[in-house]
Amino acid sequence: MTSLSFAEQLKKERNEIWSRLALSAKSNQISSEQVCLEWSHAADLLLQKTFDHCFAEQKIALFALGKLGSSELNLSSDVDILLVAEDETAYAPAQLRQFQKILSERTANGFIFRVDFDLRPGGKQGPLVPTLDQFKDYYGNYGETWERLAFVRLRAIAGDSQIQKEVLSFAQKFSFRKHLDFTLLEDLKTLRSKIQGHYWARTQSDVIDLKLGVGGIRDIELFAHALQVVHGGRDPSLQIKRTTDALKLLQEKQLLPEQEAQFLATHYWNLRALENYVQALNDEQTHLLKVSDSHPDFVTAALKMLPEEMHRCDQIVKTLLGDAAASSTIEEELQQVGLPEQDLAELWQEILGQEVYSRHKGRDEISRKAFLGIFLTALKEQKGDLRRGLLLLKDFIHGTRAKASFFALLLREKNLLQELTWLFGHSPYLSRILCNRPELLDSFVYRAQNKHSEDLGSLLEELAEKRLLSEIITGSAYLKDKDLPALLQNLTSTADSIVEVLLNALKKEYPSSIQVLALGKWGGRELGFRSDLDFIFVTPQEPEENDFKVAKRFITRLTESHRGGHIYSIDMRLRPSGKAGPLVIPQKDLSEYLSQEASAWERQAYLKARFIGDDQKSLVPFFIDRGLNEVELTELNRIRQQLLADPPVVNLKFSEGGLVDVEFAVQTEILRRKIRPSSQSTTDLIRIFSSEFPTLLGNYERLRQMEQMLQLVASESLVELHANHESFHALALAFQISAQDLLKEVRDIFSNNIETLKELDPRRQAH
């Protein structure tokens, strides 16, 4: 069989299938989805036969893209294909010419397909058949966003299996990335604007562009593929080819509302039915439907609702990809926002003056200005600190290396932009974390982390990130809801988890039964921001060499510097005999020490002790029956006097009637009365005395609520309140009261607590 007779036979096969499907499309006998699927399968078969005829046994592979790649090929479409060879000697040029001729040459029997190679590396300027190395080099270094979307529908059709495997694997990594992409959505917004700007005249009152019109086929595909690429790196199940399958899965994953997903799928296949209809009339690659022409009933019925449906589609699509027409009012919006103070104006210019690192500077500069305008407006609406918010934004932009295209994501992700603005306007502490580690924004959006690494070095980075991410997420929520119990529980749970993971990782290398005994705020499950971890190491029996190895490495790994700083600061001064005491202590020795030797203040501290990973074990029974004698009470009162701040200072922790005064008073009375508490938390300890002193618990929780808020709104770690300090005014703003009223409230709480503690605190009575 000659190549010509082979080609004519393929054309005959093609015409028979096409005619049958075209007749169905013109009469609406079968669904448009079925038409496209059958035509795609036929195209696969015809291309496979042609490829095998021209490239038999060659180190070359054939791939489909576009609608053929998703098995949604319309009746008179180009077929987007890609050939990739192992190297430049894998095929002869004559073989490529023959392949093109068989598919594209028109004869009396017509043609098989119009073939489009433009999606190859380098486009029309690139080699028709790139090598595997050229393919990887181009997309690894120069690939753009629209090419990433194109590869969502990349599918192997024929050829060398190893080349297929390598190309598909590389394309998957190129398109779907685990981290948020700061260029994708703005690039797509620009692409959509360009498409509509170029083709706007084709959709008029009497002519509808089914493919490129606003709310048309291309809009739905861009929308679905954008969501796939944004989320598909973290959820591989989204890496599917067919458009409506993707919409259904996005709905199931709750990434797209059910009504929107179902509407877009229905609208998509309605448009494809009309597209197949107009193409079936003359086997012509057209997407234009003339309204005034005579049409069959199913087309006439569809046209009645089509403008409204395309408008609804546009409303959905632009929530992600922006308006179809490029905005021309950004500068006007910036002027309307305005800046009331000269220093703000200067800072604004400094932000705008940072260099833009981008290959699309004009586009990205527009997007950056749009973001800045929205950011400033949001700062004002949220009643954040304008100047401080912009200062932090400037540092954040610098931290992201001033990639202006980064703002694309924030422009489209309205909730994320609002949260980022909220943090910058209200919490220097959390904002500094993001400024130092801007890549945490990725995990902040997804509220999740990948599974822990087996490699210890990677694990330590992950644990450091986990701690920071927990503070950002928990702190962001606390700024809004001021839910103290949730805050303390979340921060404590994070510390527990990090310590357990690290300890277990070290025990794999050095088998050990060592345990961590948490003390202080950590032991009481009330860990706050900027808190140290107070703990000691305990073993069931006499410690062995591995126990000491684990303990030393645990301390080193927890405190050594990582990209985000150390994981936690630690405090081990509460081990028996203080700093001179052993690093690791057997439980028997600890129990004996507490029952016989421990000072009163040490026994106070061990009321809050708990073993990480084993909440059932308690040390309280070993010392609670010792009670307190007069000498010990006198000594505790001396310690109390040393801890208290000077009267003129308003200190949430150390003022008389403050947090520490309440904590130690309650602990002292529990020891004196020999009460065995059921919990280590300070609030539960205070609750024991609620019937006698009903205001104490509420006062304590309010002071703790203020203390934690102050950590978030102050630029440094503070517990003192100074009426003229910006942190004090920021704290008042956070609670939406005046600074004067806040100061009065704190002093009233102190006074009330002092009166209560005169009756409760046995130290005062001893004194």
Summarize pLDDT for 699-739 with one digit per residue, the tens: 999 999 999 999 998 877 778 887 777 788 888 888 988 88
- Beta sheet of 115-116, edge-to-edge order: 115-116, 79-85, 60-64, 155-159
What is 220-272 written as a DSSP string? HHHHHHHHHHHHHTT-GGG--S-HHHHHHHHHHTTSS-HHHHHHHHHHHHHHH
Instruction: Look at 108-112, 286-290, 377-381, 667-671 and tell me which has the smallest mean pLDDT.
Output: 377-381
Which CATH number does the domain 184-321 belong to among 1.10.10.10, 3.60.40.10, 1.20.120.330, 3.40.50.2020? Answer: 1.20.120.330
Find residue 533's DSSP bridge partners: 570
How do the domains of the chain map onto residue ranges?
3-175, 184-321, 330-426, 460-626, 630-766
Query: Can you tell me the mean pLDDT for 471-481?
Result: 90
Q: Can you name the CATH fold of 3-175?
A: Beta Polymerase; domain 2 (3.30.460)
Task: Say how far apart CA 388 and CA 344 lie, in whole Å.
Answer: 10
Query: Can you tell me the mean pLDDT for 200-204?
Result: 47
Find residue 207's DSSP bridge partners: 290
The answer to whether the beta carbons of residues 590 and 538 sit under 8 Å apart is: yes
pLDDT digits (tens, 9 = 90+) for 63-98: 999 999 999 999 988 899 999 999 988 888 899 999
Is residue 633 very low, low, confident or very high in pLDDT (cuts 50, 70, 90)? very high
Evaluate if residue 102 carries a pLDDT over 90: yes
Task: Say how far apart CA 272 and CA 290 lie, in whole Å.
Answer: 15
Structure tokens at 182: 């700061």
Task: Say how far apart CA 489 and CA 487 lie, in whole Å.
Answer: 6
Q: Is 576 helix (H, G, I), strand (E, B) or coil?
A: coil
Question: What CA–CA distances, in Å, run from 479 to 327, 384, 414, 487, 734?
Answer: 34, 12, 19, 10, 7
pLDDT digits (tens, 9 = 90+) for 368-426: 667 777 787 888 888 777 777 878 887 777 766 545 556 666 666 677 778 888 888 88
CA-CA-CA-CA torsion for 380, 382, 386, 391, nearest 10 degrees?
-130
pLDDT at position 579? 62
For the 630-766 domain, the top CATH level (class) is mainly alpha
pLDDT at position 697? 96
pLDDT digits (tens, 9 = 90+) for 352-378: 666 555 555 555 566 666 777 778 788
Structure tokens at 494: 């994070």
Task: Say how far apart CA 417 and CA 409 lie, in whole Å.
Answer: 9
- What sign for the dihedral angle of Cα 468, 471, 475, 477? positive
Tell me the whole-structure pTM to 2 decimals. Answer: 0.59
The answer to whether the beta carbons of residues 32 and 73 sit under 8 Å apart is: no
What is the 8-class DSSP label of residue 405? Answer: G
Architecture of domain 460-626: 2-Layer Sandwich (3.30)
Query: For helices 297-321 and 184-199, what crossing angle results, to 10°?
Result: 140
Q: Which of 116, 108, 56, 57 is nearest to 81 (CA)?
A: 116
Q: Residue 691 burial by CB count (10 A; 0-12/13-18/19+): exposed, middle or buried?
A: exposed
Is residue 332 very low, low, confident or very high in pLDDT (cuts 50, 70, 90)? very low
Q: Which helix or strand (DSSP H or E) is residue 15 part of?
A: helix 3-27
pLDDT at position 583? 87
Look at the block and give the residue holding tokens 């699509």. Answer: 317
Q: What percent of the chain has pLDDT over 70?
A: 85
pLDDT at position 595? 94
Query: Can you tell me the mean pLDDT for 528-554?
Result: 93
From first CA to last CA, the distance across the chain in angstroms is 114
pLDDT at position 448? 55
pLDDT at position 721? 84
What is the average pLDDT value for the chain, to the nearest integer? 85
Is residue 685 very low, low, confident or very high in pLDDT (cuts 50, 70, 90)? very high
Task: Say how far apart CA 319 and CA 185 lie, in whole Å.
Answer: 11
Task: Say how far apart CA 300 and CA 273 lie, in whole Å.
Answer: 12
pLDDT at position 327? 41
Cβ count near 49 (within 10 Å): 17
The residue that leads in pLDDT, 358 or 762, is 762
Evaluate if residue 442 carries a pLDDT over 70: no
pLDDT at position 185? 63
Query: Can you tell me the mean pLDDT for 257-266?
Result: 95
Query: Can you tell me the mean pLDDT for 309-320?
Result: 90
Is residue 328 very low, low, confident or very high in pLDDT (cuts 50, 70, 90)? very low
CA-CA-CA-CA torsion for 416, 421, 424, 425, nearest 10 degrees?
-150
pLDDT digits (tens, 9 = 90+) for 110-152: 899 989 888 888 877 788 999 999 999 988 888 887 788 889 9
Whether the domain at 184-321 and the domain at 630-766 fall into the same CATH topology:
yes
